[in-house]
């Protein structure tokens, strides 16, 4: 299945070469979890602070079991803030 | 003692000065800056005074840590009664001006009356004088004013806080800009300054600051700086990406107010965010962002310095705007961009630059343009009225035309200068104004971040994110993650943020330290800097006291619980996309609990018991 992965701020370096504007389309195994998908890209788990699937927060304790669906959008940030 | 111990009182009507000792009894209860100056204001003006009359006062105030070696000790605030809201106004700025005021031997300046003709205050250590501004800086931009004053007095080290033409011409959201690009931005404090015929405050100080216990202070400051450096947000995220990193966060969360809050997500938000500022442009191969910048004493360095694409339509024939300039912060980029639907990063940088040059709050300006665009598209404003400008959502040309006109107080810019509330009332559709108590709200949609609805509704200076930034918890997980779509628990969260924020704002430090610091980090610095029993508990108590002092002033000024509300759009029209799809803000579920937690009546009035407990 295909998902959209968005890696922002310092995590942008882990996006594949095909990525544009911090966004890439990725082929992943059916029911691939958040953790497995990020691992496929080599994103260090300890740098994944804010993880959103279709805009909804996924807590650290759920990331290894949260299965993605076809066409989901996974967006991830290191610790960031502003205001 | 971190205090200079002196206040300069300036009677602009008479052109006279008076030196007074700082009221140390009040300092022990209200800490400094926002809290202490609010106490002075509340004691000295009629709460029902016309904000633009000579009877209103304008206070420039430092905190106990301002100008010390504590990190982010650049801060000063301007306190007055605000013209947009009729409520107490307190606007905070960094840069170098605040410490310079302390170095000159003053904790605070209180301006009274109205000068018979335009003047600026020149303050060199203990020597104060009012200088004729006509024929020199009156009618000039902030940037020209700062340069002219430094040249006139042959001292490049003079620090200047001034208004631009927007403040002179009465735009109700005019700000006070110091050090070219730092601003006491919100609530129209620059409009009050303009109404007093006061163009600028120019300060040169050579006295430095002292603290009560040098060894203890050094230890506390060093520990505090280590916390900031070791924190991923204040040590890495903010210096690298600035506040603009939030554009994609908030858009993905489904809480980016777009098209005057008709939408909660912007299709091309990434094009105006922090990451985009780093990307090389097609035209010249250079990024919009040049580097970051820090205020006095700051070990974070979140400020942005940008250069506008020299081939862009805004600057291609204007080399004076092709130089490095103050770059976009998140709130400005949102208001100028997402609120108006404009996704042209260079146009937004230019508009932001004009806001700095002419002294305008980009949040209120951008949000007012967004409201005007909706009025225009709905036929309530015509092309004849805009002077031929097609004032449509997404038009960079329209945004640029409006910022230039408003900055100079010309054409339809005069109407934009009324602010969103008065503009929408004048043009027949008050419900299109996205304001609370007359002030435009910032970059977080309360349908997608529920706590921000209560934050806006109860903010003492009108809608504002800097009075209780629950986004930190609801979205960013600082200090701990809460659900942005949930209303349960938000009353307590908002109260806790409001009280702690009032303490940070009164200490002379930047609120952004609170992404890493708690009051546990602040208390030892304040305690070592000045007299008083400053602990976490006493700081929180001072914060709560300050919040209630501001609230009581607003009640006495005529505001009521009916003003603690949100625009109908946020309470009735559900979000169309994102996680909040189908949701409105649940203010009615949060507000009664909030009043109860505050010790206020069901009508939002502080009870006698609460006032007594807080020694008010």
pLDDT class of B1 with cuts at 50, 70, 90: confident
- Determine contact, residues B351/B345, Cβ cutoff 8 Å: no
Q: How far apart are CA B62 and CA B31, in angstroms?
A: 10
A75 has a chain B CB within 8 A of its CB: yes
SS3 state at B81? strand
- Closest residue of A to B333, CA-based? A83
Task: Of B177, B172, B114, give the one whose Cα is nearest residue B141.
Answer: B177
Can you give the pLDDT at residue B228?
A: 98
Give backbone dihedrals phi and psi of B277, rounded to 5 degrees, phi first: -65, -20
Contact call for B238 and A81, based on CB within 8 A: yes
Can you give the pLDDT at residue B477?
A: 94
Contact call for B252 and A52, based on CB within 8 A: yes
B76-81/B58-62 β-pairing: antiparallel
Q: Convert the pLDDT of each residue in B382-410 to its tens digit.
A: 999 999 999 999 999 999 999 999 999 99
Contact call for B270 and A59, based on CB within 8 A: no
pLDDT class of B261 with cuts at 50, 70, 90: very high
Contact call for B481 and A59, based on CB within 8 A: yes
Average confidence (pLDDT) over B166-171 = 98
Contact call for A22 and B270, based on CB within 8 A: yes
Q: Convert the pLDDT of each residue in B531-561 to its tens digit.
A: 989 999 999 999 999 999 999 999 999 999 9
Residue B280, classified by CB atoms within 10 Å of its CB into exposed (0-12), middle (13-18) or buried (19+), is exposed
Asked whether residue B448 carries a pLDDT value surpassing 90, the answer given is yes
Contact call for B240 and A21, based on CB within 8 A: no
Average confidence (pLDDT) over B185-213 = 97
If one counts every other C-beta atom within 10 angstroms of the C-beta of residue B441, the result is: 30
Q: How far apart are CA B200 and CA B118, in angstroms?
A: 10
Q: From the CA of B483, how many Å to the nearest CA of chain A?
A: 8
Q: Convert the pLDDT of each residue in B479-523 to its tens digit.
A: 999 999 999 999 999 999 999 999 999 999 999 999 999 999 999
DSSP letter for B32, please: S
Asked whether residue B473 carries a pLDDT value surpassing 80, the answer given is yes
Chain A environment of B363 (Cβ under 8 Å): none
- By Cβ distance, the residue of A22, A52, A82 closest to B244 is A82
C-alpha torsion angle, residues B547, B551, B557, B563 (rounded to 10): 130
Q: Which residue has the tokens 């059916």?
A: A30
Chain pair A-B, CB pairs under 8 angstroms: 96
A12 has a chain B CB within 8 A of its CB: yes
DSSP letter for B280, please: B
Contact call for A50 and B246, based on CB within 8 A: no
Helix (H) or strand (E) holding B546: helix B536-557
Can you give the pLDDT at residue B375?
A: 98
* Chosen from B92, B267, B274, B476 to mutate, greatest number of chain A CBs within 10 A: B476
Give the HSE-up count for residue B382: Cα atoms under 13 Å, Cβ half-sphere: 2
Strands ordered across the beta sheet of B325-326 = B289-293, B303-306, B325-326
- Closest residue of B to A60, CA-based? B481
- By Cβ distance, the residue of B237, B270, B329 closest to A80 is B237
Average confidence (pLDDT) over B111-125 = 98
Predicted TM-score of the model (pTM): 0.98
Q: How far apart are CA B393 and CA B551, in angstroms?
A: 37
Q: Is B50 left (phi over 0), alpha (psi -120 to 50) or beta?
A: beta
- Determine contact, residues B463/B456, Cβ cutoff 8 Å: yes
Can you give the pLDDT at residue A83?
A: 86
Can you give the pLDDT at residue B382?
A: 98
A65 has a chain B CB within 8 A of its CB: no
Q: How far apart are CA B133 and CA B119, in angstroms?
A: 4
Q: Which residue has the tokens 């602009």?
A: B12
Residues 6+ apart with CB under 8 A from B142: B162, B163, B164, B177, B180, B356, B357, B358, B359
Q: How far apart are CA B188 and CA B437, in angstroms?
A: 13
Q: Convert the pLDDT of each residue in B10-69 to its tens digit.
A: 999 999 999 999 999 999 999 999 999 999 999 999 999 999 999 999 999 999 999 999
pLDDT class of B296 with cuts at 50, 70, 90: very high
Contact call for A79 and B243, based on CB within 8 A: no
Task: Of B11, B2, B196, B16, give the one whose Cα is nearest residue B107.
Answer: B2
Q: How far apart are CA A56 and CA A65, in angstroms?
A: 15
Q: How far apart are CA B361 and CA B174, in angstroms?
A: 6
Contact call for B241 and A9, based on CB within 8 A: yes
Chain A environment of B476 (Cβ under 8 Å): 50, 79-81
A57 has a chain B CB within 8 A of its CB: yes
What would the two tokens of residue A49 be?
Answer: 């602070």
- By Cβ distance, the residue of B271, B276, B478 closest to A81 is B478
Contact call for A21 and B275, based on CB within 8 A: yes
SS3 state at B329? coil
What would the two tokens of residue B570 be?
Answer: 């946020």
Chain B environment of A72 (Cβ under 8 Å): none
Average pLDDT, chain B: 98
If one counts every other C-beta atom within 10 angstroms of the C-beta of residue B426, the result is: 14
Q: How far apart are CA A27 and CA A54, in angstroms?
A: 17
- By Cβ distance, the residue of A22, A57, A81 closest to B472 is A81
What would the two tokens of residue B518 be?
Answer: 């708690």
Task: Of B306, B308, B272, B309, give the one whose Cα is nearest residue B290.
Answer: B306
DSSP letters, B59-72, are EEEE-TTTTSSSTT
Q: How far apart are CA A72 and CA B402, in angstroms?
A: 40
- Closest residue of A to B269, CA-based? A21
Q: How far apart are CA B570 and CA B567, in angstroms?
A: 6
Asked whether residue B167 carries a pLDDT value surpassing 90, the answer given is yes
Interface of B with A (CB under 8 A): 231-233, 236-238, 240-246, 248-249, 252-254, 270-271, 274-276, 279, 302, 329-331, 465-466, 469, 471-472, 475-478, 481, 483-484, 511-512, 515, 578-579
DSSP letter for B137, please: T
Chain B environment of A77 (Cβ under 8 Å): 245, 249
Helix (H) or strand (E) holding A73: strand A73-77
Q: From the CA of A48, how many Å to the nearest CA of chain B?
A: 12
A62 has a chain B CB within 8 A of its CB: no
Residues 6+ apart with CB under 8 A from B41: B57, B59, B79, B80, B81, B88, B553
- Closest residue of A to B478, CA-based? A81
A9 has a chain B CB within 8 A of its CB: yes
Q: How far apart are CA A61 and CA B239, in angstroms?
A: 29
B119-124/B198-204 β-pairing: parallel
Give backbone dihedrals phi and psi of B184, rounded to 5 degrees, phi first: -80, 90
Chain A environment of B478 (Cβ under 8 Å): 79, 81
Average confidence (pLDDT) over A48-77 = 97
Chain A environment of B331 (Cβ under 8 Å): 83
Q: How far apart are CA B83 and CA B170, in angstroms?
A: 10
SS3 state at B111? strand
Q: How far apart are CA A34 and CA B571, in angstroms?
A: 34
- Determine contact, residues B134/B118, Cβ cutoff 8 Å: yes
Chain A environment of B330 (Cβ under 8 Å): 82-83
Q: For CA atoms B137, B140, B144, B145, give the dihedral sign.
A: positive
């Amino acid at each position: 299945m295909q998902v959209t992965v968005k890696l922002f701020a310092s995590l942008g370096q882990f996006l594949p070469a095909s990525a544009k504007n911090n966004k890439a389309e990725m082929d992943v195994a059916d029911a691939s979890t958040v953790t497995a998908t990020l691992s496929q890209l080599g994103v260090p788990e300890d740098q994944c602070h804010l993880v959103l699937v279709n805009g909804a927060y996924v807590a650290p304790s759920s990331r290894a079991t949260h299965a993605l669906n076809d066409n989901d959008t996974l967006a991830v940030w290191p610790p960031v803030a502003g205001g | 003692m971190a205090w200079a111990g002196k206040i300069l009182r300036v009677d602009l009507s008479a052109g006279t000065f008076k030196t007074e000792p700082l009221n140390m009894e009040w300092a022990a209860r209200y800490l400094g800056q926002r809290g202490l100056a609010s106490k002075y204001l509340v004691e000295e003006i009629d709460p029902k005074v016309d904000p633009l009359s000579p009877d209103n006062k304008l206070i420039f105030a430092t905190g106990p840590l301002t100008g010390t070696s504590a990190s982010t000790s650049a801060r000063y605030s301007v306190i007055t009664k605000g013209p947009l809201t009729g409520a107490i106004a307190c606007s905070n700025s960094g840069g170098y001006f605040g410490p310079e005021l302390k170095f000159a031997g003053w904790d605070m300046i209180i301006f009274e009356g109205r000068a018979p003709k335009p003047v600026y205050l020149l303050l060199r250590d203990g020597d104060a004088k009012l200088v004729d501004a006509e024929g020199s800086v009156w009618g000039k931009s902030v940037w020209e004013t700062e340069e002219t004053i430094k040249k006139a007095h042959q001292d490049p080290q003079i620090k200047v806080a001034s208004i631009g033409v927007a403040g002179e011409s009465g735009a109700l959201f005019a700000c006070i800009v110091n050090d070219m690009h730092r601003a006491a931005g919100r609530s129209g404090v620059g409009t009050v300054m303009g109404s007093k015929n006061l163009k600028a405050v120019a300060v040169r100080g050579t006295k430095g600051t002292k603290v009560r216990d040098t060894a203890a202070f050094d230890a506390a400051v060093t520990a505090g700086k280590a916390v900031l450096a070791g924190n991923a947000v204040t040590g890495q995220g903010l210096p690298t990406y600035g506040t603009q990193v939030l554009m994609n966060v908030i858009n993905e969360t489904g809480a980016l107010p777009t098209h005057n809050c008709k939408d909660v997500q912007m299709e091309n938000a990434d094009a105006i965010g922090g990451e985009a500022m780093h990307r090389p442009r097609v035209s010249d191969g250079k990024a919009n962002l040049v580097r970051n910048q820090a205020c006095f004493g700051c070990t974070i360095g979140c400020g942005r310095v940008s250069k506008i694409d020299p081939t862009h339509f805004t600057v291609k024939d204007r080399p004076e705007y092709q130089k490095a300039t103050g770059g976009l912060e998140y709130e400005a980029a949102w208001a100028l961009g997402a609120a108006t639907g404009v996704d042209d990063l260079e146009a937004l940088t230019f508009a932001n630059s004009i806001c700095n040059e002419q002294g305008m709050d980009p949040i209120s300006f951008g949000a007012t343009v967004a409201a005007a665009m909706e009025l225009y598209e709905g036929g309530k404003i015509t092309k004849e009225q805009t002077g031929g400008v097609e004032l449509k959502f997404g038009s960079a040309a329209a945004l640029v035309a409006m910022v230039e006109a408003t900055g100079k107080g010309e054409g339809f810019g005069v109407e934009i200068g009324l602010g969103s509330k008065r503009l929408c009332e004048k043009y027949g559709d008050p419900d299109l104004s996205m304001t609370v108590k007359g002030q435009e709200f910032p970059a977080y949609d309360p349908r997608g971040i529920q706590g921000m609805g209560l934050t806006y509704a109860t903010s003492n200076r009108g809608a504002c994110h800097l009075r209780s930034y629950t986004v930190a918890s609801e979205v960013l997980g600082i200090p701990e993650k809460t659900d942005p779509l949930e209303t349960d628990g938000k009353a307590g969260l908002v109260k806790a943020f409001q009280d702690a924020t009032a303490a940070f704002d009164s200490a002379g430090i930047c609120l952004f330290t609170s992404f890493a610091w708690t009051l546990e980090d602040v208390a030892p610095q304040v305690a070592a800097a000045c007299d008083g029993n400053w602990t976490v508990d006493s700081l929180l108590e001072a914060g709560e006291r300050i919040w209630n002092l501001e609230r009581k002033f607003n009640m006495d000024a005529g505001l009521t619980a009916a003003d603690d509300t949100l625009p109908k759009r946020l309470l009735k029209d559900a979000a169309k996309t994102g996680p909040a799809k189908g949701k409105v803000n649940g203010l009615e579920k949060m507000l009664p609990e909030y009043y109860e937690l505050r010790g206020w009546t069901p009508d939002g009035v502080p009870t006698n018991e609460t006032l007594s407990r807080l020694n008010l």
